[in-house]
Amino acid sequence: MVSFAPGFELPPFYCPVDEALHPDFDELRQRCVAWADNTGLYGNDAVERAWGLYGTHADLAFARCCPVAPKERQYILMLWALWVFVGDDNHHHDETAVGLTGRPGGPDLKMARMVDLGGRLLCAADGPDQVLSGGSETVQRLSRTNAEIVNMMRSVGTATQVQRFLDRQRQWVLGELWLASVLELGRVPTVEEYTMQRHSASGGLPGFELAAFAQDLRLSDTERNDPALVTAISAANLVISWDNDLISYPKEAFHGEGKGNMVGVIAHHLNCSPQDAVAEVTAIRDRVMSLFLGLHDKLSRSRNSQVRQFGDLLSHFIRGHLDWSAAIPRYREITDHKTPPPPDLPPITMEWTDTPSDTRMTPVDIAPIAGWWDQLK
């Protein structure tokens, strides 16, 4: 276990996947920073800019999660990574703006405003002429830059690639609103509810489709909807989501959002401490990781090279997310983001293990996902 925050230790991570980084990252990083400044992605807030570009450093996340895409498509992917974290970082320190993934954190953050933001962003994704007037300055810049990124996608991608991404982005917005509504009602979701809410309320699903666009994968609907691939995508998404829950729990607990996290949900229902809940979350996570590895092995034997590439893409995402999370101040510096991130903050020391904490290859006791294991037969 790694001491991470007072009274909280991270488990060893079972992830037998090699780390990777896009070879053009340094050049693309400079272009991403220039774009963010030229478009006003961070407004006039120097602290928000510092947290976005250096505290969160989301372009690094997708350079690790998608290390093999052609340069110009990779650039679009990294821009979206910067964009998508603006709202999440913004809503904690600016109570006048609800973030894209901003769960209610106080009396000024109302569900109605979150729904309004979600609707505006979905409209903006349909094109620059769909950016609606009204709303806060933050809403306007999120809408405008979202439209610009999707327009870039349309200029080089196929209609199918773009539509698959937009469909997942809509699912993500809806998932965030669903989870936020439960929390605003003051109710802790059940493990089953939270699993499905977290599955939708995750940037992984649109991220996978954007990475498929970046690698120019062109699977037919029949190939893309193959049950083994669909299940591998879902399993990878939950592994990443639960890894994020483990790493971000101290940060979310600091902001009063610990019950919107698998650690907090398990702790509530088992009536145990968050640290004790970590072992249960890790066991569930490792069993789904083992499922994913079995499905990845199955996909790797496909005659279709693009199916094999999609399976590898998912593997890179799982490992890349962990490497990025360890490297940045976002999860290490647990503050209200009213000052810039410390410049020399050491990374989180990750422990790795070659063996899952729970070696069973039987379905976990979460009914909505128990059928996933049928795809190993």
pLDDT band at 106 (very low <50, low <70, confident <90, very high): very low
Specify the CATH number for the domain of residue 241.
Answer: 1.10.600.10
Q: How far apart are CA 174 and CA 345, in angstroms?
A: 35
Per-residue pLDDT tens digits for 57-68: 999 999 999 999
E-assigned strand segments in the chain? 2-5, 8-10, 13-14, 352-353
The mean pLDDT value for 29-53 works out to 94
pLDDT at 113: 77
pLDDT at 332: 83
The mean pLDDT value for 360-371 works out to 96
Q: How far are the Cα atoms of 102, 244, 285 from residue 282, in angstroms, in the given order?
A: 25, 12, 5
pLDDT at 250: 87
Angle (deg, nearest 10), helices 111-124 and 137-156: 30
Q: How far apart are CA 189 and CA 12, in angstroms?
A: 27
Per-residue pLDDT tens digits for 156-181: 999 999 999 999 999 998 888 888 88
> Tokens 């053009």 correspond to what residue?
24
Share of the chain above pLDDT 70, in %: 92
Range with the lowest mean pLDDT among 161-175, 181-195, 327-341? 327-341
User: Mean pLDDT of all residues in the chain?
Assistant: 89
Q: Which residue has the higher pLDDT, 172 or 4?
A: 172
Which residues span the domain enclosing 201?
2-376
pLDDT band at 189 (very low <50, low <70, confident <90, very high): very high
Q: What is the pTM of this model?
A: 0.92
Q: Are the C-beta atoms of residues 192 and 368 closer than 8 Å to each other?
A: yes
Does 94 have pLDDT greater than 70? no
Please tell me what DSSP assigns to residue 56. Answer: I
Q: How far apart are CA 23 and CA 44, in angstroms?
A: 32
Query: Domains in the chain: how many in total?
Result: 1
Q: How far apart are CA 285 and CA 264, in angstroms?
A: 15
Per-residue pLDDT tens digits for 210-245: 999 999 999 999 999 999 999 999 999 999 999 999
